[in-house]
Amino acid sequence: MRPKRIAIFTGGGDCSGLNAVIRAVAKKAMGEGYEVIGIEDGYEGLVKNKYRKLENSDVSGILALGGTILGTSNTANPYRYAVQAKDCKFVFKDYSKTAIRNFKRLKADALVAIGGDGTLSTAYRLYEDGIPIVGVPKTIDNDILGTDITFGFDTAVWVATEGIDRIHTTAQSHHRVMIVEVMGRTAGWIALHSGVAGGGDIILIPEIPYDINSVVKKIKERHGKGKRFSIIVISEGAKPKGGDVVVKRMVRESFESIRLGGVSFVLGAQIEKMSCIETRAVVMGHLQRGGSPTPFDRVLATQLGTRAMDFVNEGAFGHMVAVRNNEFVKVTLRDVAKGKRLVPRNHPLVESARSVGTSFGE
Protein backbone atom coordinates (compact mmCIF):
# COMPACT_ATOMS: atom_id res chain seq x y z
CA MET A 1 0.00 0.00 0.00
CA ARG A 2 1.22 3.50 -0.81
CA PRO A 3 1.74 5.86 2.13
CA LYS A 4 -0.87 8.48 2.90
CA ARG A 5 -0.02 11.80 1.29
CA ILE A 6 -1.17 15.40 1.60
CA ALA A 7 -0.31 18.50 -0.40
CA ILE A 8 -0.18 22.02 1.00
CA PHE A 9 0.15 25.48 -0.52
CA THR A 10 -0.06 29.17 0.38
CA GLY A 11 -1.97 31.54 -1.90
CA GLY A 12 -2.72 35.24 -2.21
CA GLY A 13 -0.89 38.05 -0.43
CA ASP A 14 1.75 37.06 2.08
CA CYS A 15 1.46 37.67 5.81
CA SER A 16 3.16 36.71 9.03
CA GLY A 17 2.22 33.25 10.30
CA LEU A 18 2.16 31.37 7.00
CA ASN A 19 5.22 29.33 7.90
CA ALA A 20 3.77 28.58 11.31
CA VAL A 21 0.74 26.96 9.62
CA ILE A 22 2.91 25.04 7.16
CA ARG A 23 4.96 23.78 10.11
CA ALA A 24 1.89 22.73 12.10
CA VAL A 25 0.23 20.89 9.21
CA ALA A 26 3.43 19.18 8.12
CA LYS A 27 4.66 18.12 11.57
CA LYS A 28 1.27 16.71 12.58
CA ALA A 29 0.92 14.95 9.22
CA MET A 30 4.41 13.46 9.37
CA GLY A 31 3.77 12.27 12.91
CA GLU A 32 0.72 10.41 11.64
CA GLY A 33 2.57 8.70 8.81
CA TYR A 34 1.77 11.06 5.92
CA GLU A 35 4.11 12.15 3.18
CA VAL A 36 3.88 15.93 2.73
CA ILE A 37 4.09 17.65 -0.65
CA GLY A 38 4.62 21.40 -0.80
CA ILE A 39 3.04 23.10 -3.81
CA GLU A 40 5.15 26.10 -4.78
CA ASP A 41 3.83 29.60 -5.52
CA GLY A 42 0.18 28.97 -4.75
CA TYR A 43 -2.15 27.95 -7.57
CA GLU A 44 0.64 28.63 -10.04
CA GLY A 45 2.33 25.52 -8.69
CA LEU A 46 -0.75 23.43 -9.49
CA VAL A 47 -0.96 24.84 -13.01
CA LYS A 48 2.77 24.52 -13.77
CA ASN A 49 3.32 21.34 -11.73
CA LYS A 50 5.83 22.90 -9.30
CA TYR A 51 6.17 21.03 -6.04
CA ARG A 52 8.62 19.35 -3.69
CA LYS A 53 8.49 16.81 -0.92
CA LEU A 54 8.82 18.38 2.52
CA GLU A 55 10.97 16.72 5.13
CA ASN A 56 10.99 17.41 8.85
CA SER A 57 14.13 19.49 8.40
CA ASP A 58 12.27 21.77 5.96
CA VAL A 59 9.67 22.76 8.52
CA SER A 60 11.86 22.92 11.62
CA GLY A 61 12.88 26.38 12.85
CA ILE A 62 10.33 28.28 10.75
CA LEU A 63 7.73 29.07 13.43
CA ALA A 64 8.95 32.66 13.83
CA LEU A 65 9.94 33.16 10.19
CA GLY A 66 7.97 35.68 8.15
CA GLY A 67 6.82 35.06 4.59
CA THR A 68 6.30 31.54 3.24
CA ILE A 69 8.88 28.89 2.40
CA LEU A 70 6.59 27.69 -0.40
CA GLY A 71 6.16 31.04 -2.13
CA THR A 72 2.81 32.48 -3.16
CA SER A 73 0.94 34.22 -5.95
CA ASN A 74 -2.19 36.35 -6.14
CA THR A 75 -2.40 36.29 -9.93
CA ALA A 76 -2.70 32.56 -10.65
CA ASN A 77 -6.39 31.69 -10.44
CA PRO A 78 -6.55 28.46 -12.51
CA TYR A 79 -10.06 29.35 -13.71
CA ARG A 80 -8.81 32.74 -14.93
CA TYR A 81 -5.12 32.24 -15.41
CA ALA A 82 -3.25 35.27 -16.73
CA VAL A 83 -0.98 34.61 -19.70
CA GLN A 84 1.25 37.48 -20.79
CA ALA A 85 1.18 38.31 -24.48
CA LYS A 86 4.01 39.84 -26.51
CA ASP A 87 2.69 43.37 -26.03
CA CYS A 88 2.93 42.94 -22.20
CA LYS A 89 -0.84 42.71 -21.95
CA PHE A 90 -2.60 39.69 -20.48
CA VAL A 91 -5.11 37.23 -21.84
CA PHE A 92 -6.99 34.89 -19.55
CA LYS A 93 -7.39 31.17 -19.99
CA ASP A 94 -9.06 28.40 -18.02
CA TYR A 95 -6.31 26.08 -16.76
CA SER A 96 -8.45 24.44 -14.08
CA LYS A 97 -8.40 21.05 -15.83
CA THR A 98 -4.60 21.24 -15.94
CA ALA A 99 -4.44 22.07 -12.23
CA ILE A 100 -6.81 19.22 -11.35
CA ARG A 101 -4.89 16.79 -13.52
CA ASN A 102 -1.58 17.79 -11.92
CA PHE A 103 -3.03 17.37 -8.44
CA LYS A 104 -4.33 13.89 -9.25
CA ARG A 105 -0.90 12.90 -10.53
CA LEU A 106 0.46 13.62 -7.06
CA LYS A 107 -1.79 10.85 -5.72
CA ALA A 108 -2.44 13.02 -2.67
CA ASP A 109 -5.31 12.24 -0.32
CA ALA A 110 -5.99 15.91 0.42
CA LEU A 111 -4.97 19.47 -0.37
CA VAL A 112 -4.62 22.05 2.42
CA ALA A 113 -5.20 25.54 1.01
CA ILE A 114 -3.88 28.41 3.15
CA GLY A 115 -5.24 31.70 1.90
CA GLY A 116 -7.66 34.58 1.98
CA ASP A 117 -11.08 35.09 0.43
CA GLY A 118 -9.79 34.88 -3.15
CA THR A 119 -7.75 31.73 -2.58
CA LEU A 120 -10.56 30.03 -0.65
CA SER A 121 -13.22 31.02 -3.20
CA THR A 122 -11.14 29.30 -5.85
CA ALA A 123 -10.64 26.37 -3.47
CA TYR A 124 -14.41 25.99 -3.31
CA ARG A 125 -14.60 25.72 -7.11
CA LEU A 126 -11.85 23.11 -7.14
CA TYR A 127 -13.64 21.19 -4.40
CA GLU A 128 -16.78 21.21 -6.54
CA ASP A 129 -14.66 19.84 -9.37
CA GLY A 130 -13.48 16.92 -7.30
CA ILE A 131 -10.38 17.95 -5.34
CA PRO A 132 -10.50 17.08 -1.58
CA ILE A 133 -9.65 20.47 -0.04
CA VAL A 134 -9.47 21.87 3.48
CA GLY A 135 -9.05 25.63 3.93
CA VAL A 136 -7.12 27.67 6.50
CA PRO A 137 -8.07 31.38 6.83
CA LYS A 138 -5.18 33.74 6.18
CA THR A 139 -5.24 37.51 5.72
CA ILE A 140 -4.06 40.64 7.48
CA ASP A 141 -7.44 42.19 6.57
CA ASN A 142 -9.45 39.89 8.88
CA ASP A 143 -12.29 39.97 6.33
CA ILE A 144 -13.00 36.26 5.72
CA LEU A 145 -16.61 35.25 6.24
CA GLY A 146 -17.33 32.59 8.82
CA THR A 147 -14.43 33.21 11.20
CA ASP A 148 -13.94 35.76 13.97
CA ILE A 149 -10.20 36.01 13.41
CA THR A 150 -7.56 35.19 10.80
CA PHE A 151 -3.88 34.69 11.43
CA GLY A 152 -1.72 37.55 10.19
CA PHE A 153 -4.19 40.15 11.45
CA ASP A 154 -2.70 40.52 14.93
CA THR A 155 0.79 41.05 13.55
CA ALA A 156 -0.45 43.67 11.08
CA VAL A 157 -2.26 45.52 13.87
CA TRP A 158 0.86 45.38 16.05
CA VAL A 159 3.02 46.86 13.26
CA ALA A 160 0.45 49.57 12.47
CA THR A 161 0.08 50.45 16.15
CA GLU A 162 3.83 50.79 16.57
CA GLY A 163 3.82 53.15 13.60
CA ILE A 164 1.06 55.25 15.14
CA ASP A 165 2.97 55.39 18.45
CA ARG A 166 6.05 56.70 16.66
CA ILE A 167 4.03 59.27 14.70
CA HIS A 168 2.66 60.70 17.96
CA THR A 169 5.98 62.21 18.97
CA THR A 170 6.59 64.07 15.72
CA ALA A 171 2.97 65.22 15.61
CA GLN A 172 3.29 66.70 19.11
CA SER A 173 6.68 68.27 18.41
CA HIS A 174 5.61 70.04 15.23
CA HIS A 175 1.93 70.64 16.11
CA ARG A 176 0.81 68.85 12.99
CA VAL A 177 -2.05 66.70 11.82
CA MET A 178 -0.53 63.31 11.06
CA ILE A 179 -2.41 60.77 8.95
CA VAL A 180 -1.44 57.10 9.12
CA GLU A 181 -2.78 55.01 6.24
CA VAL A 182 -3.12 51.26 6.83
CA MET A 183 -4.16 48.32 4.68
CA GLY A 184 -7.46 46.44 4.77
CA ARG A 185 -8.98 46.86 1.31
CA THR A 186 -12.76 47.18 1.80
CA ALA A 187 -12.67 46.17 5.48
CA GLY A 188 -11.69 48.52 8.30
CA TRP A 189 -10.54 46.01 10.90
CA ILE A 190 -6.85 47.01 10.89
CA ALA A 191 -7.64 50.74 11.05
CA LEU A 192 -10.19 50.20 13.82
CA HIS A 193 -7.98 48.04 16.05
CA SER A 194 -4.72 49.92 15.49
CA GLY A 195 -6.51 53.27 15.72
CA VAL A 196 -7.99 52.40 19.11
CA ALA A 197 -4.72 50.83 20.33
CA GLY A 198 -2.69 53.82 19.14
CA GLY A 199 -5.05 56.46 20.53
CA GLY A 200 -6.11 57.84 17.17
CA ASP A 201 -8.25 60.96 17.45
CA ILE A 202 -10.03 60.21 14.18
CA ILE A 203 -10.46 56.73 12.64
CA LEU A 204 -11.76 56.47 9.08
CA ILE A 205 -12.90 53.08 7.77
CA PRO A 206 -14.61 51.95 4.55
CA GLU A 207 -17.80 50.90 6.33
CA ILE A 208 -18.46 54.45 7.61
CA PRO A 209 -18.07 57.04 4.80
CA TYR A 210 -16.65 60.24 6.22
CA ASP A 211 -17.63 63.90 5.92
CA ILE A 212 -14.55 66.07 5.39
CA ASN A 213 -16.26 68.91 7.22
CA SER A 214 -16.73 66.70 10.29
CA VAL A 215 -13.08 65.67 10.15
CA VAL A 216 -11.89 69.29 10.01
CA LYS A 217 -14.35 70.29 12.75
CA LYS A 218 -12.89 67.64 15.08
CA ILE A 219 -9.34 68.87 14.40
CA LYS A 220 -10.30 72.51 15.07
CA GLU A 221 -12.10 71.53 18.27
CA ARG A 222 -8.93 69.87 19.53
CA HIS A 223 -6.89 72.94 18.68
CA GLY A 224 -9.43 75.12 20.46
CA LYS A 225 -8.85 73.06 23.62
CA GLY A 226 -5.08 73.49 23.42
CA LYS A 227 -4.41 70.12 21.75
CA ARG A 228 -2.23 71.35 18.92
CA PHE A 229 -1.89 68.05 17.09
CA SER A 230 -4.22 65.32 15.83
CA ILE A 231 -3.69 61.71 14.77
CA ILE A 232 -5.86 60.30 12.00
CA VAL A 233 -5.81 56.57 11.21
CA ILE A 234 -7.36 55.83 7.84
CA SER A 235 -7.98 52.57 6.02
CA GLU A 236 -6.84 52.48 2.39
CA GLY A 237 -10.45 51.75 1.37
CA ALA A 238 -12.03 54.66 3.23
CA LYS A 239 -14.06 57.08 1.13
CA PRO A 240 -15.99 60.33 1.62
CA LYS A 241 -19.77 60.43 1.65
CA GLY A 242 -20.94 60.42 -1.95
CA GLY A 243 -17.37 59.79 -3.14
CA ASP A 244 -15.27 56.81 -4.10
CA VAL A 245 -12.06 55.08 -3.11
CA VAL A 246 -8.62 56.27 -4.20
CA VAL A 247 -7.15 53.77 -6.67
CA LYS A 248 -3.38 53.48 -6.79
CA ARG A 249 -3.16 51.13 -9.76
CA MET A 250 -4.95 48.34 -11.62
CA VAL A 251 -3.59 44.80 -11.79
CA ARG A 252 -5.93 43.07 -14.21
CA GLU A 253 -4.34 39.65 -13.82
CA SER A 254 -5.02 39.57 -10.07
CA PHE A 255 -8.10 38.28 -8.22
CA GLU A 256 -8.28 41.75 -6.63
CA SER A 257 -7.59 43.88 -9.70
CA ILE A 258 -7.99 47.23 -7.92
CA ARG A 259 -5.00 48.25 -5.81
CA LEU A 260 -5.96 50.87 -3.28
CA GLY A 261 -3.62 53.44 -1.79
CA GLY A 262 -3.01 57.16 -1.45
CA VAL A 263 -6.23 58.24 0.24
CA SER A 264 -4.15 59.74 3.09
CA PHE A 265 -2.45 62.19 0.71
CA VAL A 266 -5.78 63.25 -0.78
CA LEU A 267 -7.26 63.74 2.67
CA GLY A 268 -4.16 65.54 3.94
CA ALA A 269 -4.30 68.11 1.13
CA GLN A 270 -7.96 68.79 1.90
CA ILE A 271 -7.39 69.18 5.63
CA GLU A 272 -4.44 71.54 5.19
CA LYS A 273 -6.41 73.72 2.79
CA MET A 274 -9.53 73.85 4.98
CA SER A 275 -7.84 74.20 8.39
CA CYS A 276 -4.55 75.96 7.61
CA ILE A 277 -2.85 73.37 9.84
CA GLU A 278 0.24 71.62 8.55
CA THR A 279 -0.66 68.03 7.65
CA ARG A 280 1.51 65.04 6.80
CA ALA A 281 0.66 61.52 5.68
CA VAL A 282 2.45 58.21 6.23
CA VAL A 283 1.52 55.00 4.40
CA MET A 284 2.35 51.83 6.36
CA GLY A 285 1.96 49.68 3.25
CA HIS A 286 3.67 46.31 3.03
CA LEU A 287 5.40 46.76 6.38
CA GLN A 288 2.19 45.28 7.78
CA ARG A 289 2.70 42.05 5.84
CA GLY A 290 6.29 41.29 6.70
CA GLY A 291 8.43 40.19 9.58
CA SER A 292 8.10 37.73 12.42
CA PRO A 293 4.55 36.93 13.60
CA THR A 294 3.37 37.97 17.05
CA PRO A 295 3.05 35.28 19.73
CA PHE A 296 -0.74 35.40 19.25
CA ASP A 297 -0.43 34.69 15.53
CA ARG A 298 2.09 31.90 16.13
CA VAL A 299 -0.29 30.20 18.55
CA LEU A 300 -3.33 30.73 16.32
CA ALA A 301 -1.49 29.50 13.22
CA THR A 302 -0.34 26.38 15.04
CA GLN A 303 -3.87 25.61 16.20
CA LEU A 304 -5.38 26.24 12.77
CA GLY A 305 -2.78 24.01 11.11
CA THR A 306 -3.29 21.08 13.46
CA ARG A 307 -7.08 21.41 13.21
CA ALA A 308 -6.78 21.37 9.42
CA MET A 309 -5.12 17.97 9.70
CA ASP A 310 -7.98 16.84 11.96
CA PHE A 311 -10.37 17.82 9.14
CA VAL A 312 -8.29 15.81 6.67
CA ASN A 313 -8.42 12.74 8.91
CA GLU A 314 -12.18 13.16 9.34
CA GLY A 315 -12.73 13.56 5.60
CA ALA A 316 -14.29 16.99 6.21
CA PHE A 317 -13.37 18.30 2.77
CA GLY A 318 -14.92 21.44 1.36
CA HIS A 319 -14.59 23.13 4.77
CA MET A 320 -12.43 25.83 6.32
CA VAL A 321 -11.15 25.80 9.89
CA ALA A 322 -12.82 28.77 11.59
CA VAL A 323 -12.78 30.44 14.99
CA ARG A 324 -16.14 31.35 16.48
CA ASN A 325 -16.62 32.41 20.09
CA ASN A 326 -13.13 31.11 20.93
CA GLU A 327 -13.89 27.66 19.54
CA PHE A 328 -12.65 25.98 16.37
CA VAL A 329 -15.49 25.02 14.05
CA LYS A 330 -16.16 23.87 10.48
CA VAL A 331 -17.40 26.39 7.91
CA THR A 332 -18.17 25.36 4.34
CA LEU A 333 -16.04 26.89 1.60
CA ARG A 334 -19.31 27.68 -0.14
CA ASP A 335 -20.22 30.06 2.69
CA VAL A 336 -16.72 31.55 2.72
CA ALA A 337 -17.04 32.35 -1.00
CA LYS A 338 -20.19 34.44 -0.48
CA GLY A 339 -18.46 37.71 0.35
CA LYS A 340 -16.38 39.54 2.94
CA ARG A 341 -16.65 40.08 6.68
CA LEU A 342 -16.90 43.83 7.25
CA VAL A 343 -17.00 46.01 10.36
CA PRO A 344 -20.60 46.56 11.58
CA ARG A 345 -21.34 50.23 12.26
CA ASN A 346 -22.47 49.28 15.77
CA HIS A 347 -19.52 46.98 16.52
CA PRO A 348 -18.63 47.07 20.25
CA LEU A 349 -15.15 48.42 19.53
CA VAL A 350 -16.63 51.23 17.42
CA GLU A 351 -18.94 52.11 20.30
CA SER A 352 -16.07 52.00 22.80
CA ALA A 353 -14.00 54.32 20.60
CA ARG A 354 -16.87 56.78 20.29
CA SER A 355 -17.35 56.76 24.06
CA VAL A 356 -13.79 58.01 24.63
CA GLY A 357 -14.16 60.81 22.09
CA THR A 358 -12.83 59.19 18.92
CA SER A 359 -14.41 60.53 15.75
CA PHE A 360 -15.32 58.38 12.74
CA GLY A 361 -15.84 61.41 10.53
CA GLU A 362 -19.61 61.14 10.47
The residues assigned a catalytic role are 141
Pairing of strands 133-137, 110-115: parallel
CA neighbor of 254 nearest in space, from 318, 207, 319, 185? 185
Q: Evaluate the CA torsion angle 206, 76, 122, 66 in order and state its sign.
A: negative
Q: Helix, strand, or coil here: 138?
A: strand
202's CB contacts (< 8 A; 6+ apart) are 215, 218, 219, 230, 231, 232, 233, 358, 359, 360, 361
Q: Which residues of 273-287 are buried (b: 16+ CB within 10 A; e: fewer)?
A: ebbebebbbbbbeee
CA neighbor of 96 nearest in space, from 43, 41, 37, 38? 43
Number of alpha carbons in the 13 Å side-chain half-sphere of residue 278: 9
